[in-house]
Structure 1
Amino acid sequence: MLADLAELVRCESFSADHAAVARSAEVVGALGRRLLGAEPETIVINGVTHLRWTFGTPRVLLIGHHDTVWPMGSIESHPWSVADGTARGPGVLDMKAGLVQMFHALASLPSPDGVRVLVNGDEEVGSTTSRQLIEESVRGCAAAFVLEPSADDEGALKTARKGTSRYDVVVHGRAAHAGLEPQKGINAAVEAAHQVLSIAGLGAAMGDVDGTDSVLGSASVTPTLLSAGSARNTVPALARVSLDVRVPTQAAQDRIDALIRGLTPRTPGARLEVLGGSQRPPMEPGSSAGLFDLASRLAAELGEEPLRGIAVGGASDGNYTAAAGCPTLDGLGAVGSGAHASTEYVNVERMVPRTRLLAQLITRTRRRPDRDRRDSA
């Protein structure tokens, strides 16, 4: 498993570099081909390469991604290494070790029948080209297992995730000479300042409305990027405010969308344009409850320590599978810490136990009747 992990980590796969992602897909495809004895379906959408294997009529979806946040050349400053029980390198935790565990878990079974494997190439940038592929791939499945890393360095599974939305509020004003006749302008920067203050209060204004007091906590609406103007001596005619929105429930996501689209200008003559919208729907706790209970029983049977489940603010492709109505359990990949940071590492000792747990989950869920699927949803 470590040899396979080294090969994946050394093949860099920065999301923005489609050629690098294509090379990574070749390496991941070769690993799957060797361990599963089957050729993958290679799917290229808008230049992004995804891989899929389907064995019989799928009832279980195993889902992961092979792209990383690490720019090309990061392998030089953060080389692959294994020392003192930890593996390091760009993307080792998020989520190349999860891919290795996934392939080895499936290869350990007498047959992969009833399983579909999807490895996409753009999860780190929102799965913009693969969302439809994910929703198509999970259709008819009784369970989806997401090979993202555990929620913490103790191995907690991710049983709920906030949904995400992204917006740009564009302010249209009117340019004028800032020294000669500023009164003839409509200052988009001033209007943007008003909007930033209004937007920053939206999350708090939600209060406990629409379920925002859930296990995932309250909704958050955060202004992030702000730009305005074209020259120092010109009244800004255009400004833009970017927003990051995190929500615990679908109701909260819908409510905040309405509030943002209902923003009104404070500066006479200014006009607002709202771009963007929801990206990933929330993965609410009910979608994972049945599978987490099963995983807890299996961990006990395997002699492992009791499992913990944690709700997290970040989103993954598990948000999509859960929203499609498929019971979903996330965080089944590697145990470690430091994802997206220079401290990223994988606890090598935990790789085999997690692989065994996944193998048992696959075995149990692909033979469960549809009635059990409804009960766990």
Structure 2
Amino acid sequence: MTATSANCFDSGSILDGIRRWVEIETPTDAPEQVNKLADLVAAGYRDLPATVERIAGQSGCGDHLVARSAWGQNEPGILVLSHLDTVHPMGFITRLPFKIEGDVAFGPGIYDMKGGAYLAYHAFRQVCANGARSPLGVTQLYVSDEEIGSPTSRALIEAEGRKAKYVLVTEPARDGGKIVTGRKGVGRFEIFIRGVPSHAGTRPGDGRSAIRELGNIIQTLEAMNDLKRGITVNVGVVRGGTRPNVIAEEAYAEVDMRVPTIADSDELVPKILGLKSRTDGVTVKVTGELNRPPYEKGNAGAALYEHAKTLAAEIGFDLVDTSTGGGSDGNFTAPHTATLDGLGVDGKGAHTHYEQMYISSIEPRARLLHRLYQTLR
């Protein structure tokens, strides 16, 4: 390895680039901030053999960016999925400023997932640096709404995913650097219950409590949990009633469902949507759907992982795979395109006040992305 090639992956200079992205706060619900970062990201491609398409934001979300290599766009290539939005609210950077302590760099979104998004961008710059070209074209998609389920980018992700031969997702590594080859599918549902109000003291028999019926519904949903199969159904939000002396006319709940396989989804989604009232005079309405399909480790995905594992060994580290209950945009592509997730930086504390990345993970993981660009055919 030459000194020049080694300097291409200098952790300090890469970390400085990550810092610039982190210090632009990008809550999903602050589209002007997301667009400010999109401006910076787009500017980074101006001197590269690439085109950048900017897709205007919708429904209160920021813009999406699609950066395409100037080569290889006439055949299926490599799609890199990243998101620019974070869960942290505006001003959080005063609580969690960018700082370095030993091998750890802190900052909102540094682990989930600005660190990984920047690694993919940097690796692409290196593919372009010496005039060489990767065997396949590279398309890098940066979306603005992943943290709320990708409602305005899902169609774009799926369309680009179907055109690709491989999908690389720059979500953070898991549990000490593990790559992700499986994610549970995610379903979200809302439950609306309407009963009959009455005075709780003088005419309780005239009422039909929506809250009581919600209790029945919650018990039914809780019974769907099957930890051995990896199925979880969680009632995370409940509201109902007006005053303690009124039989509740209305109640409401929000439900999160996680399933490891499409078969599990096919079984549970109809059950949840088909929930019925046990009480005469009370109506139950359920809306929702499978928001992200399960990301199952198919044959193509397994082969992609084995290839990445071989490259990692050549670089000097062991790449272990895992599955996780959290969803990502990789869920949208895995059912039809070989997908490898968790290619971002290693660290911990996603969505917390101590979110951090390990500086020592920068170089090897940037090199892995670079080698994937260079060797996938």
Q: Return the TM-score normalized by structure 2.
A: 0.90
Structure 1 residue matching 2:29: 3-state secondary structure: coil
Partner AA of 2:142 in structure 1: V
Match of 2:103 in 1: 85
Residue pairs, 1:202-281, within 5 angstroms: 202-204=224-226, 217-281=229-293
CA deviation profile, 1:119-160 (whole Å, cap 9, x unmatched): 0000011001000010111222110000000012x2100110
Cα distance in 2 for partners of 1:137, 1:61 equals 7
Quote the sequence identity (%): 36
Cα distance in 2 for partners of 1:85, 1:31 equals 27
Match of 1:137 in 2: 160
Contact 1:11 1:27 survives alignment (8 Å): no
Match of 1:15 in 2: 28
Alpha-carbon distance, 1:203 to partner: 2.2
Unmatched segments (≥5 aa) in structure 2: 1-13
Match of 1:147 in 2: 170
Partner AA of 2:331 in structure 1: N
Alpha-carbon distance, 1:305 to partner: 2.2
Residue pairs, 1:332-371, within 5 angstroms: 332-365=343-376, 367=377
Match of 2:326 in 1: 314
Deviant stretches of 4+, over 3 Å: 36-39
Match of 1:43 in 2: 55
Structure 1 residue matching 2:362: 3-state secondary structure: helix
Alpha-carbon distance, 1:179 to partner: 2.6
Cα distance in 1 for partners of 2:350, 2:253 equals 28
Cα distance in 2 for partners of 1:32, 1:192 equals 53
Q: Do residues 73 (structure 1) and 91 (structure 2) align?
A: yes
Match of 1:30 in 2: 43
Cα distance in 1 for partners of 2:51, 2:22 equals 21
Match of 2:200 in 1: 178
Tell me how large the CA RMSD over aligned residues is. 1.6
Contact 1:9 1:90 survives alignment (8 Å): yes
Aligned residues: 352
**Greater shift in the superposed pair: 290-299 or 109-118:** 109-118
Contact 1:11 1:23 survives alignment (8 Å): yes
Cα distance in 2 for partners of 1:122, 1:11 equals 16
CA deviation profile, 1:15-54 (whole Å, cap 9, x unmatched): 11122111121122223435x3545211123142110012
Cα distance in 1 for partners of 2:334, 2:294 equals 8
Cα distance in 2 for partners of 1:53, 1:239 equals 46
**Greater shift in the superposed pair: 107-116 or 140-149:** 107-116
Contact 2:95 2:353 survives alignment (8 Å): no
Match of 2:6 in 1: none
Cα distance in 1 for partners of 2:94, 2:133 equals 39
Cα distance in 1 for partners of 2:240, 2:352 equals 31
Partner AA of 1:88 in structure 2: F
Cα distance in 1 for partners of 2:145, 2:21 equals 16
CA deviation profile, 1:286-306 (whole Å, cap 9, x unmatched): 15211110011111222x222
Cα distance in 1 for partners of 2:49, 2:372 equals 21
Partner AA of 1:3 in structure 2: D
Match of 2:66 in 1: 52
Match of 1:156 among 172, 175, 178: 178
Alpha-carbon distance, 1:278 to partner: 0.8
Unmatched segments (≥5 aa) in structure 1: 208-212, 368-377
Structure 1 residue matching 2:124: 3-state secondary structure: helix
Match of 1:291 in 2: 304
Q: Do residues 301 (structure 1) and 319 (structure 2) align?
A: no
Structure 2 residue matching 1:127: 3-state secondary structure: coil
Contact 2:64 2:141 survives alignment (8 Å): yes
Cα distance in 1 for partners of 2:293, 2:188 equals 12
Match of 1:198 in 2: 220
